[in-house]
Structure 1
Amino acid sequence: MDNLRDFLASARTVAVLGAHPNPSKAAFYVPDYLGRKGYQLFPVNPVYAEQELWGQVAVSTLTDLEEPVDIVVVFRRSEALPNHLEEILTAKPKLVWLQSGILNNAFSETLRQAGIPVVQDRCLMVVHRQLFG
């Protein structure tokens, strides 16, 4: 992604793949921070489907979302990423963000070849704070 700051400033919607209701988990507090910064959040996790998080009802998969998203932020183990490849390709987000500790070069390269930029092994909350204070 050439200008991450400009992209994050213009992005409005974030799907949270692996969203979690426990406030002590990064899959809750990172998206919660983003919601406080004005992003509309869409929780995605089959374990918590039908539960409300951040004012939205969680869905099982990205393909269950009814509107397009700018960013898919991923809170899943690196080895689980191939299981989500088809749904991400179908959702066609403008960016896929793999949180700290999540790294899968083959998965990321497949997305890049499909025209979807990927950020790997970085915390979106930390980067957002660095770019916007």
Structure 2
Amino acid sequence: MSFMNPTQEQIGQILKQAGNIAIVGLSDKSDRISYIVAYTMQQRGYRIIPVNPAASGTEILGEICYASLHDIPDKIDIVNVFRRSEYCAQVAREAAEIGAEVLWLQQGIISEEAALIAKENDMIAIMDRCIKVEDAISLRNS
């Protein structure tokens, strides 16, 4: 499979239309990249929904943390993933099962299998891109 991320313009549109972002692998430790990214996105107006089995039932950034995507009662627009590549295919399957529109693998994370699962389930896949950086770029370009 020859994967290509959406264009910068398309990514800007995806972010403009998004509301709920489930962050798989969100840490409750404020010095972790996942926390910093989530905090920034929350400050920019997105609703962040933490997904981390180890912190399930607690609050991270004022939001209830869930053990899995299946446990989230609300519609998810973007599933943003902070997990190693070998776990991404399973996250992609879960994202498809809950009807997410976008599977977003953070910078440094690449999974051709996850991208293929996303494509087969009519989801948009984005890999090896930081959602915080892409949001800043789209704000600058608008």
Q: Same fold (TM over 0.5)?
A: yes
- Equivalent position SS for 2:66: coil
How many residues end up aligned between the 2 structures?
133
- Equivalent position SS for 1:24: coil
C-alpha distance in 2, partners of 1:7/1:53?
24
> TM-score, structure 2 length as denominator?
0.88
Query: Hey, what does 1:114 align to over in structure 2?
Result: 121
Query: Hey, what does 2:28 align to over in structure 1?
Result: 21
Matches within 5 A, 1:85-104: 85-104=92-111
CA offsets, 1:68-114, max 9 Å, x none? 11111000000111332332121121111100111011221111111
C-alpha distance in 1, partners of 2:26/2:75?
18
C-alpha distance in 2, partners of 1:78/1:98?
9
- Equivalent position SS for 1:73: strand
Query: Hey, what does 1:73 align to over in structure 2?
Result: 80
Deviation for aligned residue 1:4? 1.8
Please identify runs of 4+ aligned residues in structure 1 that moved more than 4 A.
none
Unpaired runs of at least 5, structure 1: none
> TM-score, structure 1 length as denominator?
0.94
C-alpha distance in 2, partners of 1:123/1:92?
22
| 2:117 alignment partner AA | T
C-alpha distance in 1, partners of 2:14/2:90?
27
Deviation for aligned residue 1:7? 2.0
Identity across the alignment (%): 26
Unpaired runs of at least 5, structure 2: 1-5
Match of 2:65 among 50, 58, 66: 58
Query: Hey, what does 2:41 align to over in structure 1?
Result: 34
| 1:96 alignment partner AA | L
C-alpha distance in 1, partners of 2:68/2:26?
11
Query: Hey, what does 1:128 align to over in structure 2?
Result: 135
C-alpha distance in 1, partners of 2:89/2:125?
14
CA offsets, 1:31-85, max 9 Å, x none? 1100000001110000110110122110100000001111110000001113323
